[in-house]
Structure 1
């Protein structure tokens, strides 16, 4: 299981992209701004969970 690098809480699947983050789409590579393309979010830090 992944955890936030700042607060060490459990990460949740991003609801905006349904955990796909940086997957490929018809127009090329997609980028989710909510999770910064990782597919995971922290309840406290959101998509800014990486140091």
Structure 2
């Protein structure tokens, strides 16, 4: 499931707000493709405990 994209805003941060994903144990994968000043990065957020 693709939740969306968010462009970087102030302070080199991006925020994506979305509806609550369906129940289950989904990970959230955050991918930044990099630019001239910053290297690419990928972060995997594990499911929250109890969900």
TM range (shorter): under 0.3
TM superposition score normalised by structure 2: 0.23
Q: Which has the higher contact order (CA 8 A, sep 6+)?
A: 1
User: Highest Rg: 1 or 2?
Assistant: 2
Hey, which of these two has a bigger chunk of helix by percent? 2
